[in-house]
Chain A
Amino acid sequence: MKPAAFEYHAPDTVEEAVALLDAHGDQAKVLAGGQSLVPLMNMRLARPAVIVDINRIQTLNYLAEDGGTLALGALCRQRAAERSALVARHCPLLGDALALVGHAQIRNRGTVVGSLAHADPAAELCAVLATLGGTVTAVGPQGTRSIPADELFVSYLTTSLDPRELLTEARFPALPRGTGWAWKEIARRHGDFALAGVGVGLALRGGRIAEARIGLTGVGATPVRAARAERSLVGAVPSDALWEAAAEAVRAEVEPDGDIHASAEYRRHIAGVLTRRALAEALTRAREAA
């Protein structure tokens, strides 16, 4: 399998890359790790006229902690983030989810920011960004802007990015000390896209839940924050019955599609089951940390 002919550019700076995107608009695609784009091109399902390869822009290869936020440059590989001590300390939810993205070989090349830009409806990393309320940084001909997760994801493989903008950075807020977390997903085989997945953050104060975050993947066109389920938890005392009620609230909030891999009903069901399990695990971690 070979891609259709395309023009290839390998700029050395962000400015050059943006100038190329500005010149070619939606004819151009950015190549970072290429783990989604290249297969699509090889199968000729995507036929971009112009490829802007950003792999030479070394200033985009970083992972740093910046005032309570983890900042990952557009060239930070998924495997580098997965094995990073900074991620383990400040953003373990991201680390746990990363371990389930494709296979190790894919993560060696694939980038965190590339996965966000691709916006697959079953991607782990998009849901993690949504769960933590993270942002991304985009540089375009008009300058630099910051886009919150809930404004970034628009639909299947579709973001609010302009084709002339380059996503340069993802910013994941660190979990405050004492916050428990869990990532749970179900896939048919290891490395497959999840049928459904859920990320949870849980903070306790005086035996009650002070803060709850629940974000899901694979159950709609974009990652979903289960706002009603989150609200039902805040102020309550943790119990199995409470988890079950939150699971029911999640089931009521999601509208999954069915396909040959799983029906919509099954996806809705496991979204609840995974929520319950994730909340229980997050509680254990929150208590250990306290």
Chain B
Amino acid sequence: MKLEGTTTLPAPVETVWKTINDPEALRRCTPGLTELTATGPDAYAATLTIGIAAVKGTYKGTLTITDKRAPTHCKILLEGTGGAGFMKGEGVLDLEPEGTGTLVKWAGDMQVGGLIAGVGQRMLGGVGKMLVGQFFKCLEQQLGSGA
């Protein structure tokens, strides 16, 4: 399942770069992220509780940031397994200055398997997009208030 989009954040590229590399900001803004522990440089153990309404699953896995070209490009890898299935995803972020802010181009590829994929197939794409939207909305609020 491929998802992509763009979003504009109200801060210069350097500030946005710092925020998306800040574990505290990631913890606060990744929807459903309950635990994030550094296990090495740019590598984290993560626990996510995600879903919609009563359909929620807890996934334990890893979050890794690679392919870094500061301050404009990085790749985020996410892997997790839980009772309802597994998920594996990668997202590429490219930052470009736009006026006084930053244009973020993002593209992701997500694989979801197991029970949740069989039953939730109809809604996975839309929910994925919604969660990415929540992530950027949170970053936007954080950057907006810090400026």
Instruction: Point out residues on A near B: beta carbons under 8 Å.
Output: 29, 37, 40, 43-48, 119, 121-122, 155-158, 193, 220-221, 257-261
Contacts and interface: CB of A to CB of B under 8 A. Distances in A.
A193 B123 CA distance: 12
Interface stretch (B21-29, B48-56, B93-101): B48-56
B130 interface: yes
A259 B53 contact: no
A131 B126 CA distance: 23
A40 B121 contact: no
B54 A259 contact: no
Nearest to A221: B126
A43 B52 CA distance: 15
A19 B89 CA distance: 42
A21 B65 CA distance: 42
B52 A155 contact: yes
A157 B57 contact: no
A1 B129 CA distance: 31
B53 A158 contact: yes
List the 10 closest pairs (A to B, CB-CB), nearest first.
A157-B53, A46-B54, A257-B126, A257-B125, A156-B123, A157-B52, A45-B55, A156-B52, A259-B121, A46-B55
Contacts of A47: 56
A43 B84 CA distance: 8
B53 to A, nearest CB: 4
Contacts of B52: 155-158
Contacts, number: 60
B119 A43 contact: yes
Contacts of A261: 121-122
Contact of A40 (B54, B123, B127): B54
Nearest to B128: A257
A201 B51 CA distance: 35
Nearest to B1: A259
B57 A258 contact: no
B53 A45 contact: no
B57 A259 contact: no
A258 B128 CA distance: 12
B130 A155 contact: yes
Nearest to A155: B130
Contact of B127 (A156, A193, A220, A258): A156
A37 B57 CA distance: 15
B121 A48 contact: no
Contacts of A44: 83-84, 115
Contact of B122 (A29, A158, A259): A259
A45 B123 contact: no
Contacts of A122: 122
Interface in B74-127: 83-84, 115-116, 119-127
A136 B124 CA distance: 28
Nearest to B124: A259
Kindly name the residue among B55, B56, B122 whose own CB sees the greatest number of chain A CB atoms within 10 A: B122
